[in-house]
Each structure stands twice: as C-alpha cells, then as structure tokens.
Amino acid sequence: MHTLLNRLFMIAGLIFVSGLVAIAQDTAAPSEFPIYAATDVDGIRAKEGQKVMVWGETTGSGKSSSGMNFVNFKDTEFYLVTFKTDLKPFGDAEPADAYDGKRIVVTGVISIYKDKVQIKLTSPDQVKILADDEAWPKAAPKAETAEAAPESSKKPTAENASTEEAPKKKPPVDSKLYFK
C-alpha cells in the first residue's frame, strides 16, 4: 500500500513540477526586441511605447543645470535621458560622462518628448558599450509606408510570409513614469 501511495505522490509531484515549468516558459519575457540604428529615427518613432534595442555612436552628451543627463547620438535626433532622481544606480559614472564618445547598444521603451525620440535610462544594465572592433547588432529593415510599398510586398507570399509581422498596437504610456 505504501509503495502505491509513494508512486502516486511521485507522479503527482512530477505533474506539478512539469506544469510549473510550462507556465514559466509561457510567461517568460521575450529575449529579443526590434533592433534599430539610432539614425533610423522614423523606424524608432513608429515603436513609441514599445521596448526596442538601439545602437549607435554617441557624441556631445551633457547635463542640464537641474542634473538631468542627456546622451546624444551622432548624426541623429535620437537621445537618451536620465533624470536626476534616476542617477543613483549609475554611481559616480553619470550617463553623460560614461557613454559620451562611445559605441553603445541601449535597450528601453521609446517615448517622444517635444517631437524628439528618446529612451529614458534608469539603469546601467540598459546599456552595453561595444568595443571598437565589435560588430553592430543587425538593424531592422526600414519601415515602408503603405502607399510607397510595391503591390507585391503588400501580399503575403512564401518569401515574405515569415518576415511579415502583424502590426502591434501601441500600449498606453503614462507620461508620469518618464517625466517628473
């Protein structure tokens, strides 16, 4: 009798653990985000409210009199912003100093402030500094407008079916999370 009960408990335990593993796999966050060159401002702008990776070379970064840090990208109107209240995780290396003149890849949620595209930095984990000889991540193809797209690219085919994505609805963005 004990052997039968032990086996039943063992089977029930395995089923329980298997269920937990399946749930964890289903709810795991995606490991990859759309990747854009910082110079592709229109493509990045189209991802407002979504998490993306952006790569580029920085230059001319600085700080405001209120302590806000700006990291500017070379030859583009895309930048990173870090509010004074979010500087603690960066320690003594504030973003404007640590990332200026560097080749970086940043991950974050796209927001638009005064028609400028930006990512708010809240952690140094959002940024990876690339070595001079390290390759840039592969950028997403530039977005085409519906009018400019050739008729053949509008219809799914065997060639473009795997690369075509359904348009994603932008989630609502609470500006209080980004602008204090």
Helix, strand, coil shares of the chain as percentages rounded to 5?
Answer: 30, 25, 50
| Residue carrying the six token digits 């519906």 | 146
Q: Would residue 133 count as lying in a domain?
A: yes
Determine the structural domain holding residue 40 and report its residue range: 35-142
Number of domains in the chain: 1
Q: Would residue 176 count as lying in a domain?
A: no
| Residue carrying the six token digits 């063992």 | 10
127-180 tens-digit pLDDT? 999 999 999 887 555 554 444 444 444 444 454 444 445 555 556 666 566 665
The enclosing domain of 75 has a CATH number of: 2.40.50.140
Q: Would residue 180 count as lying in a domain?
A: no
Q: Would residue 165 count as lying in a domain?
A: no
43-100 tens-digit pLDDT? 999 999 999 999 999 999 999 999 999 999 999 999 999 999 999 999 999 999 999 9
- Residue 31's pLDDT is 40
Q: Would residue 130 count as lying in a domain?
A: yes
Q: How far is CA 36 from its chain centroid?
A: 10
| Alpha carbons 107 and 95: distance in angstroms, whole number | 14
The answer to whether 124 and 90 are in contact (CB under 8 A) is yes
Q: Would residue 62 count as lying in a domain?
A: yes
- Residue 3's pLDDT is 66
Most distant CA pair in the chain: distance in Å? Answer: 77
Continuous H helices in the chain: 2-27, 41-45, 95-98, 151-154
The amino acid present at 138, given as its one-letter code, is K
Q: Would residue 19 count as lying in a domain?
A: no
- DSSP assignment of 97-122 equals HHSTT-EEEEEEEEEEETTEEEEE--
Q: Would residue 147 count as lying in a domain?
A: no
- Residue 33's pLDDT is 84
Q: State the sign of the Cα–Cα–Cα–Cα dihedral 79, 80, 85, 87.
A: negative
